[in-house]
Amino acid sequence: MKFRLTHRIFKHTATKPQEFTETTAPDWLTCAKCIPGSTADARWFFRDHVLTLPIGGSIDTDFQSITRIE
């Protein structure tokens, strides 16, 4: 699986889209460095919504749009 992360507000060149796989996803999305069950724990969102996207499907957060590209 491969994904593209695009900022929804700042779309200029300083915020180029970022590509990632399920093992290289940003820490804020996987909650690799947060306390399980805390208010910052987004693992449920990553596991239940991002990883289940079909190819070409996308989902928005407050500031980012995540699209599955492979």
Kindly report, residue by residue over 12-33, the tens digit of the pLDDT.
Answer: 655 678 899 999 999 888 888 8
Number of Cβ within 10 Å of residue 12's Cβ equals 7
* Residue predicted with more confidence, 46 or 39: 46
Separation between Cα atoms, residue 55 and residue 5, nearest integer Å: 14
By the 8 A CB rule, do 4 and 67 touch?
Answer: yes
Phi, psi at 51, each rounded to 5°: -70, -15
